[in-house]
Amino acid sequence: MGIHSTLTETYTPPNHASALAHPTVIEEYINKERAGHHYTGPFSCSRLEQLIGPFRTSPL
């Protein structure tokens, strides 16, 4: 979207309080996405960095 810089470090902010308060909703969503082959993993942070390099996540 107009930003063309290379990431030099991984950034993974904590999840929102609502996600922590309602983990079943999050787990059901993730399971649905995995069943549809929209997600892969799970991966540890270090393993994902080995595969794709530094990355950023968005909190749930």
Residue 1 resides in a domain: no
Residue 43 resides in a domain: yes
Residue 27 resides in a domain: yes
The CB-based long-range contact list for 33-41 (8 Å cut-off, 24+ gap) reads none
pTM of the model: 0.68
Burial degree of 15 (CB within 10 A; 0-12, 13-18, 19+):
middle
Residue 58 resides in a domain: yes
Would the pLDDT of 1 be above 70? no
pLDDT of residue 43: 92
Neighbours of 48 (CB within 10 A): 18
As a whole number, the mean pLDDT across the chain is 90
3-state SS, residue 37:
coil
pLDDT of residue 17: 92
Q: Look at the chain and report how many structural domains it folds into.
A: 1
Residue 2 resides in a domain: no
Residue 40 resides in a domain: yes
Cα separation values, 11 from 24, 26, 29, 59, Å? 25, 21, 23, 11
Residue 4 resides in a domain: no
Compute the average pLDDT of residues 15-32: 92
Residue 3 resides in a domain: no
pLDDT of residue 37: 94
